[in-house]
Amino acid sequence: MGKVGRMKQWILVLLLLSSTLLSACAFKDIDRRLFVSVIGIDPAEKMEEGFKVTLKIAIPFGAIKEASRPTFAYLSEEGETIGEAIRMLETHVDKVLELGHMKTIVVNEELLKGDLQEFMNYFVRRGDLQMIAYVTAARPSAETILRVEPKTEAPASISFYNFFGGTGTESPFIVTTYLFEFRRDYLGEGIDPVLPIMETNEDQSELIVNKSIVIGQKGKTLELDPLLTKQYNSLVHNASGFSYKVNKDGLQLLLNIDHIKMKFKIHSDNGKPSKVIMTINKVGVIGESNKLLSPKKLPYYDQLAEQTLSAKVRELLHKLQEEQLDPFGFGLRYRTTKLHTSNPYKIWKEAYPEIDFDVVMKINLKSTGVTE
């Protein structure tokens, strides 16, 4: 081997040796970290303005077999801003608070009525917080919700995560809103975000999510009851597992809808929006009935269902219109139809309270189920 070859060898050895130095610089091992799994925000109790931040921290344990229940620790602190409170919390524990795995942000319902920009800022500005974290409203307070440890929670899992995003349960009553969606629709003009409401039962052994809340600008909010939540969710997010009860002349049908498609169009008169035409296509089967059904009469059942279902959708739309809330994004859609110079959003806002809704419901029942 020549001189050059030996030189190269030495350099290689040096490089390899220097890599042992690297690990010491920044990396903290897993036993020196605490993984924050859920973050809860309440209005401050001790001070006038400010927040109370509660963290739900998952405590790791050696083997899943040894643990019968998941173990969590809770930390609470008040501060004028969220960042401050979290910084203070860092002094309450001996390990690094790791926010990169935080996946649910629970916000007290009361806070949603105020200006959200202030605390949302923290979540968007930090690079290590995920934008695909779920956001949910909490009732009565974020802290109570966070401290709930449902009986069905398995060791090494967090039930908060399984509620949303179709990870665990999939129900049309559960609205999923990601942090980026919430930010986008909250700040955007012409659409209002919807958050699920998380509640708990009396003895705090269950988490319940079946209502939702529409958040408009300037603290205007509207709560949607479970039925309206289901309607909204099935139309906007095509939530699966949608079932609906139809009652007519003593005939009771339970429809299981498994495919929903919604489209809407905005019609204009004299340069002003006058009518929203919403076309909804639903495909499904009959799941339950109190009488004998005939497959020949399926079109008749379609018709029955269409009438009652479109009435329900109309109710939702009118309720939203009354409050001037717009979670469907009609205003945003109207903005896309005109050049920006004509200021379409202003025109829309003026026209929205008097706009007509036309709901065209098409239901296609494929079968009466296994029996007639």
Partner 1 sequence: MNRFLYYFIILNMIVNIVVEVPKILIDYSHQGAITSIIFALIIGASLTWIIIKLFRPFPGRSLPELLELYTPNWLNKLVLLYFSLNWFIAGSLSITTFTLLLKRFLTPEMSSYIILSSFVVLVSYGVLMKTRSLLNSMEIIMILNIPIVVFLIAKVYLDEAMDWDYVKVAMTYVNNWPNYSAVTAALYPLIGIVNIIIFNRYLISKMDMRLKQLFIVFLTGALILFTTFFIPLGYIGFGISENIQYPWILTSDSVRLKYGLIERFIFIFLLIFLSLSFLNITIHWHVAQKLFEAFYRSKKLIVKGKDLNPYLWLVLFWGITFLVAGRMTEYQLFLLGKYFFNQQPLFLIVLIGSLMLINRGAKKKWAKSAE
Question: At 314, which amino acid appears?
Answer: R
Q: What are the DSSP calls for 223-244, one per residue?
A: EEPHHHHHHHHHHHS--SSEEE
User: Is 185 a binder of partner 1 (CB under 8 A)?
Assistant: yes
Separation in Å, CA 69 to CA 57, 61, 72, 144 = 14, 11, 9, 19
User: Is 11 a binder of partner 1 (CB under 8 A)?
Assistant: no
User: Is 30 a binder of partner 1 (CB under 8 A)?
Assistant: no
Within residues 227-246, the interface with partner 1 by CB under 8 A covers 237
Stretch that binds partner 1, among 23-31, 49-57, 197-205, 349-357 (CB under 8 A): 23-31
Helices (H), 92-248: 117-125, 142-146, 159-163, 179-187, 226-236
Cβ count near 241 (within 10 Å): 14
User: Is 267 a binder of partner 1 (CB under 8 A)?
Assistant: no
CB of 339 to partner 1, least distance (A): 5
* String marking each residue 189-228 x if it binds partner 1 according to CB under 8 A: xxx-------------------------------------
The count of chain residues that interact with partner 1, using the rule CB under 8 A, is 37
CA distance 370 to 264: 34
The single residue among 52, 56, 139, 183 that binds partner 1, judged by CB under 8 A, is 183
Stretch that binds partner 1, among 145-153, 224-232, 336-344, 351-359 (CB under 8 A): 336-344
CA distance 230 to 244: 10
Maximal CA-CA distance, the chain:
100
* String marking each residue 121-150 x if it binds partner 1 according to CB under 8 A: ---x--xx-xxx------------------
The single residue among 341, 353, 370, 371 that binds partner 1, judged by CB under 8 A, is 341
What distance lies between CA 164 and its chain's CA centroid?
A: 7
The single residue among 1, 16, 17, 22 that binds partner 1, judged by CB under 8 A, is 22
Closer to partner 1 by CB, 176 or 289: give it. 176
Identify whether 299 is preceded by a cis peptide bond (ω within 30 of 0): no
Return all residues near 254 (Cβ < 8 A) that are at least 6 apart: 243, 244, 245, 246, 286, 287, 288, 289
Question: At 117, which amino acid appears?
Answer: Q
Closer to partner 1 by CB, 155 or 329: give it. 329
CA distance 139 to 199: 5
CB of 215 to partner 1, least distance (A): 15
DSSP 168: S
CB of 291 to partner 1, least distance (A): 39
CB of 214 to partner 1, least distance (A): 17
* 181 token code pair: 């969606």
The single residue among 78, 149, 153, 181 that binds partner 1, judged by CB under 8 A, is 181
CA distance 148 to 142: 10
Contact set with partner 1 (CB under 8 A) = 4, 22, 25-28, 124, 127-128, 130-132, 165-167, 178, 180-181, 183-185, 187-191, 237, 329, 332-333, 335-336, 338-341, 344
